[in-house]
Structure 1
Amino acid sequence: MQDFIEILGIRISRNGRAGALALARGFLYSSGQYKIFTPNPEFLVRAQKDAYFKTILNSANLNVCDGFGLYLASLGKLKRIPGVDFMLDICRAAADNNVGIFLLGGVGGVVKNTATELSKQIPSLKICGYDSGPTIQESAANPNALVLNESENQNLITKINSSGAKILFVAFGMGKQEKWIYENLAKMPNVKIAMGVGGSFDYLSGTVQRAPCFMRKIGLEWLYRVIVQPKRLDRIINAILVFPYLVIKNKLK
């Protein structure tokens, strides 16, 4: 049975990187389909206002701790696993077992460049296909609903099913990717694992530079992001101000 810690009503796995990867390997050879999400403080802040998103996060078979703030909120009981690093771990495991992957999401040529870079890093990786995906919006009137072209979506699902991929990485951004996986995974019976990977394609393709290793280790990746991506400031505020406030408020209840 998987051990987890609950923070603001979201269950986060206590597994470290090796343990989480062992679970993912097991998913490949078990019956059923499996969802892997990578919550960070922004996810949990949003989940307090979006009940559907909260339900989806808790439906995951594995929620790994992607965020220094979650590590701090757990008082060090959680082990941080950056989503992009865990994606690479799963890709290496897929290559070792001749399991095919499909890359979905990204803007412009990002997904194609991601496929190219992954092939360079892991030459034996079987990339069955890639697609930037349909245009997806979240309805302002109904936050539960994803607004997309159903014909485009069905064509995409057919493409994924025809590819033979067993692992699907989805990079539509927080909220959209988890909701899309939740609503569409059952339509892709060959897919064993679907993982929301957020900005991982941006990092892997070289579109966005990751923070230096020393900054990641001491939890200052957010500061680097503010410097190189100032448009993310509102999201960073959620992570470094709103999230701690909600955690403290919850503990004082």
Structure 2
Amino acid sequence: MENVIRIQICNVPVDSLTMDQTVDLIDKSIQRKESLHHVVVNAAKLVNAQRDPELRDSIVDCDIINADGQSIVWAARFLKQHLPERVAGIDLMENLVALAHKKKYKVFFLGAKQEVVAKVVAIYKEKYGENIIAGFRNGYFGKEDELDIAQQIRDSNADMLFVAISSPKKEIFLNKYKSEMKVPFIMGVGGSFDVVSGKIKRAPLWMQEICLEWFFRTMQEPGRMWKRYLTTNIAFVKILFQERMKLMRKSS
């Protein structure tokens, strides 16, 4: 994107953008019917990108890369870089659905269980009316189904696509099929459908601000989440200190 400062955090690019700037760029891109691929980066994704070249490539190929977690904003400061604020994926999605209502854009929702994505669509229909919905589908499918799904999304004439599938599957799917789908704006939103539907509660704002969303999520699903967050958080801190040491050696 023109005139956007892109920094590097542990060899992963992140754009120095506010929420308002991000929404404005997306809106202008949709108006021009341009293709814009968006991704958010959190600590876990940054760690996984170090050892998964396909995931890293799918991030680098995106047009806008936002800092999803407060940990990424803090990491930038620790590495003498600047990010103005976090642009959480779920907050951006909510703002863009509101924008779709205002500008008469159409949205396709892909991901989560059938009952979850159907509830998300029902909630947005009640709030904004049926006209914003281009279509929806659950996120349980195999590789043999991917092309058919991409063509279904293309045929919906959606202006925005939100994909709520776990990483790295959603990043790789979007990067692989974005030319086929021909949607002006595409974005992976992780577990956002679960939050919007009410299946999962979001951490209070004070926990978000001090980088404890991961702890709140772990308390809701300890059996599934504790190991993931423990290993990625430790790896994230280790990688940051390694990068800081490199900076200190360069400046000495």
Q: Does 1:113 align with 2:119?
A: yes
Amino acid at match of 2:191: G
The one of 213, 219, 233 equivalent to 1:227 is 219
Aligned length: 239
TM-score normalised to structure 2 length: 0.89
Q: Which runs of 5+ in 1 are unaligned?
A: 137-147
Instruction: Name the SS of the counterpart of 2:119 in structure 1.
Output: helix
SS at 1:201 equivalent: helix
Bigger shift: 103-112 or 116-125? 116-125
Per the alignment, residue 250 of structure 2 pairs with none
8 Å Cα contact 1:45/1:238 also seen in 2: no
Give the residue type in structure 2 aligned to 1:115. V
Deviation, 1:75, is 1.2
1:81 paired residue among 83, 87, 90:
87
Q: Deviations over 1:13-53 (max 9, x none)?
A: 11111111111112212353111001101011000001111
The structure with the greater share of residues assigned to helix is 2
- In the TM superposition, residue 239 of structure 1 has moved relative to its aligned partner by 4.2
Match for 1:205 among 197, 207, 214? 197
Matches within 5 A, 1:120-199: 120-123=126-129, 126-136=132-142, 148-149=143-144, 152-189=145-182, 191-199=183-191
Give the 3 Å change call, closer, same or farther, for CA 156–216 of structure 1 in structure 2.
Answer: same
The 2-side partners of 1:62 and 1:239 are apart by: 24
2:32 maps to 1:30? yes
Mapped pair 1:216 → 2:222: no
| Counterpart selection for 2:69 from 67, 70, 74 | 67
Partner secondary structure for residue 13 of structure 2: strand
Identity fraction in percent: 25
Q: What secondary structure does 1:5 align onto?
A: strand
Counterpart of 1:91, as a letter, is: V
Q: Distance in 1 between matches of 2:172 and 2:237?
A: 25
Match of 2:16 among 8, 14, 17: 14
Give how far 1:119 is off.
2.1
What is the alpha-carbon distance in structure 1 between the residues aligned to residue 90 and residue 120 of structure 2? 12
